[in-house]
Amino acid sequence: MTKRMLMVMTSHDVMGDTGNKTGMWLEEFAAPYYAFKDKGYTITLASPMGGQVPIDPNSLADDAMTENAIRYTKDELARSAMAATIPLEDVRAEEFDAVFYPGGHGPLWDLSDNAHSIKLIEEMIAASKPVCAVCHAPIVLKDVKAPNGEYLVKGKAVTGFSNSEEAAMELTDVVPYLVEDELEKSGGKFEKADDFTVKVCSDGLLVTGQNPPSSRPAADALIALLS
């Protein structure tokens, strides 16, 4: 039977009080999406609000347009799916084999404290199904509890967009949360590579990636767990 992959993305499109646009980082969706698609997985896209997912305009700049990002721009089916995501509240964990959260700054606002997202992840883990999040998206894990009542990330190797990477973007004082700080507060053993280099942590059912270049390696780690 083909694997059923859920990808959960942000609906948030403004960077704090700056007025600048944000959203999902395209490479962090496109690289995993095509990794899953090329494996024959059935893919469902969801977001807190449903409908069109905002794409961070910075991820459409020439220097950010990877092979997979370019493939997405020419893929009418994928773009149509991105415009018609299902509302997160309508998602049922039992219908999927795994869940993947792409980053971008958007999730720091609308997925960090989202009750539907927390419930989804808790149900996936309780059913022994893997969860993966990359870059800013590991913020979705900060309040998730394991079946034993402890924080899910407690004692686990995790990664995500690091404090030094956020500082390099000059956004430390703009974002509502710093991924590194929040995962450490919840007891996670935060690991990081040099800024903007590949880092993936795979610990039990949890896979996390540090930044955009880590999105395909994180997807590959998730695929390995499913096979």
- State the pTM of this model: 0.98
Q: Compute the distance between CA of residue 203 and CA of residue 145 in angstroms, rounded to an integer.
A: 15
Mean pLDDT by 10 residues, the chain (227 residues): 95 95 98 98 98 98 96 97 98 98 98 98 98 98 97 98 98 97 98 98 98 98 96
pLDDT digits (tens, 9 = 90+) for 146-163: 999 999 999 999 999 999
**Of 134, 132, 144, 143, nearest in space to 165 by CA:** 134
Q: What is the dihedral of CA 125, 200, 32, 21, to 10 degrees?
A: 100
Nearest CA to 176 out of 129, 97, 111, 92 is that of 111
Q: 60 and 23 in contact (C-beta within 8 Å)?
A: no
Alpha-carbon distances, residue 50 vs 152, 153, 209 (angstroms):
26, 28, 25
E strand or H helix at 115, and its extent? helix 115-126
Distance CA 223, CA 208 (A): 13
Residue 40, SS3?
A: coil
- Express each pLDDT in 77-123 by its tens digit: 999 999 999 999 999 999 999 999 999 999 999 999 999 999 999 99
Measure Cα distances from 59 to 3, 134, 135, 175 in Å. Answer: 29, 15, 13, 18
Burial of 201 (0-12, 13-18, 19+ CB in 10 A): buried
Residue range(s) defining the domain that contains residue 48: 4-226
Q: How many domains does the chain have?
A: 1
Q: Domain holding 204: CATH number?
A: 3.40.50.880
Amino acid symbol at 182: E
Q: How far is Cα 47 from Cα 116, in angstroms, rounded to an integer?
A: 10
3-state secondary structure of 42: strand
Give one word for 91, left, alpha or beta, with left for phi > 0 and alpha for psi -120 to 50.
beta
pLDDT of residue 1: 78
